[in-house]
C-alpha cells in the first residue's frame, strides 16, 4: 500500500451507529497519508461520520453531495 492510495467504502445501507464503526475499521487498516472515499446516506449519518473522523484526528478533504441522488454524500478522508 502506498501513501497516495485511495480506498472506498459504501455505507449507504448501514444504520447509525454502525456507520462510524465501519469507517473507523477501514481507517484503522490504512496507513498515514492514505485516503478513504466514503459514500453515505442521510444528514444525520453525515454529521456523525464527520464528527467521528475528526475526533480520531483525521482530516476531511471533501464533503460533497452526489448530484444524481438526493440525500447521498461522498466524503474524502485523509488518514493522519
pTM: 0.92
Top-confidence residue, 30 or 70: 30
Q: Can you tell me whether residue 7 is helix, strand or coil? A: strand
Helix (H, G, I), strand (E, B) or coil at 2: coil
If one counts every other C-beta atom within 10 angstroms of the C-beta of residue 51, the result is 11
Q: Are 65 and 59 in contact (CB under 8 A)?
A: no
33-53-10 Cα angle (round to 5) = 85
- How far apart CA 28 and CA 46 sit, in angstroms, is 19
For 29-65, the pLDDT digits (tens) are 999 999 999 999 999 999 999 999 999 999 999 999 9
Please tell me the predicted confidence (pLDDT) of residue 1. Answer: 57
Amino acid at each position: 500500500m502506498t501513501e497516495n492510495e485511495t480506498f472506498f467504502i459504501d455505507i449507504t445501507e448501514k444504520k447509525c451507529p454502525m456507520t462510524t464503526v465501519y469507517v473507523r475499521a477501514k481507517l484503522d487498516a490504512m496507513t498515514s497519508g492514505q485516503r478513504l472515499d466514503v459514500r453515505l446516506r442521510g444528514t444525520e449519518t453525515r454529521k456523525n461520520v464527520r464528527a467521528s473522523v475528526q475526533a480520531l484526528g483525521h482530516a476531511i478533504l471533501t464533503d460533497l453531495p452526489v448530484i444524481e441522488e438526493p440525500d447521498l454524500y461522498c466524503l474524502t478522508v485523509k488518514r493522519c
